[in-house]
């Protein structure tokens, strides 16, 4: 009986000693010498290695938090200034309508090429083709180029017939294919620029297969290029047709609205530079060629081109008043693939271009600093690592280390301010701010993995998976005219599980339980919510499931 009591006490004490040194157990009468050695070793490792490591981790995370907050405040201040003082692009740059000369007729309009790259876009191919062919521009001054890399013969036939249909209406539309998919989207765009008829064009507008520009898109954007020879790119804003589809798309809308309303607008206003979004933009072909054209060395060929163009001295303009309809990923699988590409690519790109940026002599030191520190380091590396390691690892793990102090302002006020600044871009979704925070924290795990993949150039560094678009396939009309979601997909059961997220969710459960039992704060509430988020997303209980 005495031995059983000894084991029970030892078990309880070991549990409590997780947050202590374990030294108090060394004085248990009759304790085995091996146990004393183990507990002594644990106390030494904890005191010499783990506690200092935790304190260093907290310090680094606080530094990164301050970096990110300063960046958010600066961009938010610029965006507010532009809005309050109405410093819109038309006031900053020269802008006049095109085609006012009756004597010149359609010759007053520059030749514009519209490129639509696509790959097995069964659900949306007709949307982008229709929108491009309906643009307000003289038919003899417009060329629509459909770059079809589809591997499904049935889909290729559908796209070809759609192009033929518009040809009969008088639209100058070209249907182009190639024998392989080398370079993916960048390879298709590069190949599309080689055709002889492109030589007559001055500008090229690019739209992904799910993008639907309004008919006056070229009328609103090309005057910036025509009247300002130093401008290389005019970028429009994305507007999402399926933002209300599910909670995941609402959360994405919050992030994307902040990106366009704050990040893109501040970059355009202060530095005349921002990352090209790969679609819904118009390029000056001369600038595109001077920058070296399309390259497929990373999964962010659009950002690559933008960096090279700005290093040549070209300026960019973001026009937030021009909105182009597009589609958000509504399935977790599609969103994960997209975020991997968007996180891995920039990390890989900065590794390839850092020296080139530093050594460049055509741009100012201020712009070089902006590119390296603000554009790449803070937004595309620090932001991801801070979100994951601080809020998902360091803060929960700190419950086992009561001697490690995390200031309240660092763990509450700083992240709350950053979160509110992000949410201001979408006022209608301000009530979803808690869900947005938890969702972004979970996705930061996936983004951190992608950043490391890009920096180390391992694994899926060059993986380019086309984001699945659903178009109208997801929805069906009810008799009363409202819309409802289709039935749950019959997907492979195992594919729904993401073990890393589930494992981290279970670890957070342990952290939350320990905090609840041994601490005098309410940190366990946040830890439990974050744990639940990891587990739910680990079993793919988020987004929309589409019947196959």
Q: Nearest Cα to 145, choosing from 110, 185, 116? A: 116
Distance (Å, rounded) from C-alpha 433 to C-alpha 428?
11
Give me 371's structure tokens. Answer: 């590119």
Strand arrangement, sheet containing 173-176: 173-176, 142-148, 112-118, 203-206, 281-284, 231-240, 315-326
Token pair of 206 as six digits: 């690019």
CA distance 260 to 283: 18
Strands 203-206 and 231-240, by their bridges, are: unpaired
User: What count of Cα atoms within 13 Å lies in the side-chain half-sphere of residue 387?
Assistant: 24
Q: 52, 59, 240, 216: which is closest to 134 by C-alpha?
A: 216
- How many Cβ atoms are within 10 Å of 152's Cβ, its own excluded? 12
Among residues 278, 301, 279, the alpha carbon closest in space to that of 291 is found at: 301
Distance CA 312, CA 293 (A): 12
- Residue 242 CA to residue 212 CA, distance in Å, equals 13
Q: Does residue 468 contact residue 334 with C-beta atoms inside 8 Å? A: yes
Token couple for 77: 């201040």
Other CB atoms within 10 A of residue 280 CB: 26
Gap between the terminal Cα atoms of the chain: 62
Residue appearing with tokens 């391992």: 458
Query: Rounded CA gap, 455 and 347, in Å?
Result: 5
Beta strands, E only, 59-123: 112-118
Inter-residue contact 221 to 236 (CB < 8 Å):
yes
Contact 186, 295 (CB under 8 A): yes
Residue 112's DSSP bridge partners are: 142, 203
Distance from C-alpha of 523 to C-alpha of 399, rounded to nearest angstrom: 8
Please answer whether residues 246 and 422 qualify as being in contact, where contact means their C-beta atoms are separated by less than 8 angstroms. no
The burial of 434, by beta-carbon neighbours within 10 Å (0-12 exposed, 13-18 middle, 19 or more buried), is given as exposed
In this structure, the dihedral spanned by the alpha carbons of residues 448, 451, 457 and 463, taken in order and rounded to 10 degrees, is 90
Residue 155 CB: number of other CB atoms within 10 A? 18
The H-assigned helical ranges of 360-432 are: 365-369, 383-385, 395-397, 408, 414-423
Return the active site residues. Answer: 149, 302
Residue 83 corresponds to which tokens in the numbers above?
């809005």
């Amino acid at each position: 009986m005495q031995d059983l009591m000894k084991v029970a006490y030892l078990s309880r004490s070991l549990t409590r000693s997780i947050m202590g040194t374990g030294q108090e157990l060394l004085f248990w009468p009759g304790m085995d010498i091996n146990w004393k050695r183990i507990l002594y070793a644990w106390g030494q490792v904890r005191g010499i290695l783990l506690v200092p490591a935790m304190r260093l981790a907290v310090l680094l995370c606080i530094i990164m938090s301050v970096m990110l907050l300063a960046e958010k405040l600066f961009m938010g201040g610029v965006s507010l200034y532009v809005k309050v003082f109405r410093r819109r692009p038309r006031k900053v740059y020269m802008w006049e309508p095109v085609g006012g000369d009756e004597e010149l007729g359609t010759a007053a309009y520059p030749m514009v090429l519209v490129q639509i790259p696509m790959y097995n876009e069964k659900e949306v191919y007709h949307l982008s083709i229709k929108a491009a062919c309906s643009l307000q521009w003289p038919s003899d001054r417009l060329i629509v180029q459909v770059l079809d890399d589809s591997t499904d013969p049935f889909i290729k036939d559908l796209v070809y017939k759609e192009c033929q249909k518009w040809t009969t209406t008088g639209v100058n539309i070209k249907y182009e294919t190639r024998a392989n998919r080398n370079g993916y989207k960048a390879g298709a765009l590069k190949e599309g620029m080689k055709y002889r008829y492109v030589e007559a064009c001055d500008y090229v507008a690019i739209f992904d297969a799910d993008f639907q520009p309004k008919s006056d898109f070229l009328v609103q954007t090309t005057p910036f290029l025509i009247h300002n020879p130093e401008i290389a790119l005019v970028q429009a804003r994305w507007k999402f047709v399926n933002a209300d589809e599910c909670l995941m798309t609402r959360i994405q809308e919050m992030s994307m609205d902040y990106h366009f309303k704050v990040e893109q607008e501040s970059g355009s206003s202060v530095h005349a530079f921002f990352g090209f979004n790969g679609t819904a933009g118009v390029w000056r072909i001369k600038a595109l060629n001077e920058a070296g054209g399309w390259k497929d060395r990373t999964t962010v060929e659009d950002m690559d081109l933008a960096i090279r163009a700005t290093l040549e001295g070209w300026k960019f303009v973001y026009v937030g008043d021009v909105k182009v309809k597009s589609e958000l990923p509504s399935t977790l699988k599609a969103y994960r693939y997209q975020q991997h590409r968007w996180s891995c690519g920039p990390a890989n790109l900065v590794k390839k271009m850092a020296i080139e940026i530093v050594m460049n002599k055509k741009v100012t030191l201020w712009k070089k600093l902006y590119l390296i520190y603000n554009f790449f380091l803070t937004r595309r590396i620090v932001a991801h690592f801070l979100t994951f390691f601080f809020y998902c690892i360091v803060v929960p793990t700190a419950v086992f280390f009561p001697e490690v102090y995390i200031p309240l302002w660092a763990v509450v006020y700083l992240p709350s301010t950053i979160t509110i600044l992000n949410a201001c871009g979408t006022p209608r979704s301000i009530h979803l701010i808690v869900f947005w925070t938890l969702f972004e924290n979970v996705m930061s795990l996936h983004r951190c993995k992608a950043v490391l993949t890009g920096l180390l150039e391992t694994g899926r560094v060059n993986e380019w998976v086309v984001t699945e678009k659903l178009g109208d396939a997801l929805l069906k009309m009810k008799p009363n005219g409202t819309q409802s979601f289709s039935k749950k997909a019959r997907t492979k059961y195992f594919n729904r599980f993401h073990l890393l997220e589930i494992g981290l969710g279970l670890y957070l459960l342990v952290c939350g339980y320990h905090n609840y039992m041994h601490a005098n704060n309410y940190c366990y509430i946040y830890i439990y919510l974050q744990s639940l988020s990891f587990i739910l997303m680990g079993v793919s209980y988020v987004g929309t499931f589409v019947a196959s």
